[in-house]
Amino acid sequence: MYQLLEALLLTARIETGSTTTVNASTAYTQAIVLGAHVFVLPYVELRPEYRIMDTDDFRSSRYAIQLHLFY
């Protein structure tokens, strides 16, 4: 996490995972996630993120925005 401004933090992380089932081989997943923590008002945070996911079967990307309200 890198604090660019007082109300803006940039994030980057790598996620890995595996799933093993009885009738199939182990499936592996890897993802790179780029995002931010943006404090737009006191007690209000926006978390946009962009995820690039790579599995054994496909590669995809998606984005999400979370709204956090603290009380």
Considering the segment(s) 2-69 as one domain, its CATH architecture is Single Sheet (2.20)
At 10-51, the pLDDT tens digits run 999 999 998 888 877 888 899 999 999 999 999 999 999 999
The residues spanned by each domain of the chain are: 2-69
Looking at residue 23, what is its pLDDT?
A: 79
Q: Measured between alpha carbons, how far is residue 14 from residues 17, 31, 33, 36 in Å?
A: 10, 6, 6, 15
Those residues whose C-beta lies under 8 Å from the C-beta of residue 66, and which sit 6 or more positions away, are 46, 47, 49
